[in-house]
Structure 1
Amino acid sequence: MIDTHTFLLALGIGNIAFAVLMAGYTFGAKPNPGLRLWMWARLGMGASQLLGWMRPQLGLALPPGVEGVAWILAVSAEVAAYCLFFEFTRWGRLLLPITALSSAIVLAAGSMGASHGQLGTMVACVVALFAATMAWILLRPRRFSTRFAAGLRSASPLQLIIGVNDALFALAVGWSAWSGIQGGALFSQGDSYEFAYLMGYLLMIVNGFGFLLLCKQKDDAEMARLATTDFLTGLPNRHAFLERAEQARLAAQRQRRPLALMMIDIDHFKQLNDRWGHASGDEALMVFARTARAVLREHETIGRLGGEEFAMIMPGADLDGAVQAAQRLRVAVRNATVITSGPSYTMTVSIGVVVLDPNEDLSAALARADHALYAAKRDGRDRVEIGHPELRRA
């Protein structure tokens, strides 16, 4: 059986080592508030644990309750780091008052002569609460309300591993706290002590590497998003759109379902840039993207191919349905408002629509839609034209 002081020494060194590792990982990288706060939380926890180990060895006389408050602040900072990482917006309204109140209670109890074991039991109750909160943050499904990611998404395998570990740690510390309430000491020599020690050590290792891996996953996902997303409109870029369109074409062939394609061009876009500046042109592109998203169905995809040119793929749409969708988009764009440095600008679009023939490749369909688009521009703009089979390239 390992004594309490050895337990604190091992945890203190381990937590400080993880803090140093995080400092090295974040050096020169893009600022990450959650990771930075988590690093300081680990450093504070490690310092608190080393202080607990050194206090009896060096005969340090600390005000009663200070050591326990340091534990509370460190674990509270770790909860805050998870809240920042998962982009909770109102976490401070609950976490900060609980942290302040529990710290004040521990300090007050210490000043009133509470024993070290009694203070430890109080701190353990707060730590168990915070650990359970971290487990809830990690394990709960997240709801998305966007058109492209609606519904509930379960926690990732990595979140499950970390969250279950946090839950077990909360149970272990809660059990130890209950043992302290019953027997007057936080760390008994029984099963609760062994379980708390094991879970505490696992928490240090799993959460240490786990949070780092979560941050790396998030960074990798952001890099993937940037590589496939047009930075101005937030729509898929040319490469990503063509990849999705090819997947939709293959799926339509397998399922023997129709597949429609639109080519869309903002009318007189060069004149808009020349007259009111590129900022107004950028505003027009963003207004178009927002308008197009609003009329899209969930399974449809629109992407920016370059400049003022866009394309949309519509799985399951026949020619009549595709033309109706194109007309809805055209009218919605005309009714949208573009703010320029001069008067408000009425934006219009020209659209070419085709339905892919059986076994037609994507490039041929794009060429037909492009021919139809230029026919719409030639015949007066702000209109929809259908690409006929005879316009296909040989």
Structure 2
Amino acid sequence: MIDLQTFMLALGVGNTAFALLMAGYMRGAAGNPALRTWMWARLSSGLAQICCWAAPHLGLPLAEEFAAFGWVGGVALELASYCVFFGFGNWRRILAPATVAALLIVAAAIVARASRAQMTQVVAVIVALFATGAATILLRPQPGAPLLQRIIGVNDALFAIAIWTWMGVANGGLGTFDANPVYGFAYLASYLLMIVNGFGFLLLCKLKDDQRMQRLATIDGLTDMLNRRAFFERAERARQAALRMRKPIALMMLDLDHFKQLNDSFGHACGDDALRLFADTARATLRGNDVMGRLGGEEFALAMPGTSLAGAQFAAERLRNAVAEAPPPACAATCRMTVSIGLVMIDPHEELTAALARADHALYAAKTGGRNRVEIGAPLLRRA
């Protein structure tokens, strides 16, 4: 038969071990404020639970009082870690006063010399409220939310329900697993919370870090477009798919006109603004399945799967006009930004690099022909 005190010891040791595990993980990883806050939450909860176990065994009333504050601090820090993880802007304005109010309630109960059962009820209500807040954050409607996030949210919700059930049915009493199934449900929910949330949040932070690293490896940091390597990979996949489905695919090379003069006259920061403006303008005119990337400097490439020559020419002219009509960068209000475009259709028997070379040749023709124009490259000549 497992009583509450033994269970508190198990929870305390487990949460403290999780805190140490996360501390060790963070020493070899990039700084993660959310994970650091979570570590302190686990440590606070773990020490509180160990104090709950130690208080009756060692006869230390102060241990129970510390445990009450530790419980509240732990769940508040856990909720704070979620807010930091999701990048909420004004979370401190809400959570900080709520945490102070909860701690003052605990302090008032201690001053009023509340019994152990009464103190348990006070802390349980506070913990349940914070757990409900955590579940609300994790389970809120959010496009693309990972399954792991939902699992942690459901776990927090079940934990809050377990506490409310325990308060309503058992009146905050203390017992054992065998004495009352309500106790068993609440205690097991607590242990499940420790295991799932402990490993779950660690994995959730790692998943976010992996996604960030994947983005850094594939996205150009200045324009938020595909970088050179990622463009070649995705454009090649698009070419292969078009070949299998026997559909056309168009390819363009694009270059901002007089970009060197802009950099020399107004500085590289202004040139960066012009590149971002061009990228935003291009994104607004492209389809969802178009593949566009920055190859370097002011040079971009665009692959348009399933597009005929006439359709690609129309799209290129629309993009050219959109760039010409876009407001100039604020740093160079007197400059008009334009783009030259070289367009080719990729032959079914042609490699992507060869098609890019033809598109680049057409781009050169557009540049020498006066700029701010679309030049269609000659089709691939096949040997007889």
TM-score, length-scaled by structure 2 = 0.90
- The Cα shift of 1:64 comes to 8.3
- The Cα shift of 1:315 comes to 2.3
Contact 1:118–1:180 under 8 Å retained in 2:
no
Which residue of the partner structure matches residue 302 of structure 1?
Answer: 292
Structure 1 residue aligned with 2:189, among 184, 199, 223? 199
Structure 1 residues 362 and 282 mapped into 2: Cα distance closer, same or farther (>3 Å)? same
Amino acid at match of 2:31: P
1:292-371 alignment, distance < 5 Å: 292-334=282-324, 335-340=326-331, 344-371=334-361
Structure 1 residues 392 and 200 mapped into 2: Cα distance closer, same or farther (>3 Å)? farther
- The Cα shift of 1:200 comes to 1.4
Report the secondary structure of 2:61's partner residue.
coil
Contact 1:367–1:392 under 8 Å retained in 2:
no
CA distance in 1, matches of 2:361, 2:382: 9
Report the secondary structure of 1:311's partner residue.
strand
Contact 2:138–2:150 under 8 Å retained in 1:
yes
Structure 1: which 5+ residue stretches go unaligned?
A: 143-151
- The Cα shift of 1:63 comes to 9.8
Alignment RMSD: 2.5
CA distance in 2, matches of 1:2, 1:298: 58
- The Cα shift of 1:224 comes to 1.2
CA distance in 1, matches of 2:333, 2:383: 43
CA distance in 2, matches of 1:158, 1:393: 56
Of residues 296-305 and 370-379 in structure 1, the stretch that sits farther from structure 2 once superposed is 296-305
1:58-207 alignment, distance < 5 Å: 58-62=58-62, 67-142=67-142, 152-153=143-144, 155-181=145-171, 185-187=173-175, 189-207=179-197
Which residue of the partner structure matches residue 146 of structure 1?
Answer: none
- The percent identity for this pair of structures is 59
Q: Give yes or no for the alignment of 1:235 onto 2:225.
A: yes
Q: Give yes or no for the alignment of 1:271 onto 2:292.
A: no
Report the secondary structure of 1:317's partner residue.
coil
Amino acid at match of 1:270: K
The number of residue pairs the alignment matches comes to 381
CA distance in 2, matches of 1:317, 1:380: 27
Amino acid at match of 2:59: G
- The Cα shift of 1:304 comes to 0.4
Of residues 290-299 and 226-235 in structure 1, the stretch that sits farther from structure 2 once superposed is 290-299
Which residue of the partner structure matches residue 32 of structure 2?
Answer: 32
Structure 1 residue aligned with 2:211, among 191, 199, 221? 221
- The Cα shift of 1:343 comes to 5.6
Which residue of the partner structure matches residue 209 of structure 1?
Answer: 199
Structure 1 runs of 4+ off > 6 angstroms? 391-394
CA distance in 1, matches of 2:52, 2:80: 24
Structure 1 residues 53 and 86 mapped into 2: Cα distance closer, same or farther (>3 Å)? same
Structure 1 residues 319 and 102 mapped into 2: Cα distance closer, same or farther (>3 Å)? same
Report the secondary structure of 1:389's partner residue.
coil
- The Cα shift of 1:263 comes to 0.8
- The Cα shift of 1:113 comes to 4.1
Contact 1:291–1:336 under 8 Å retained in 2:
no
- The Cα shift of 1:306 comes to 1.3
Contact 2:4–2:174 under 8 Å retained in 1:
no
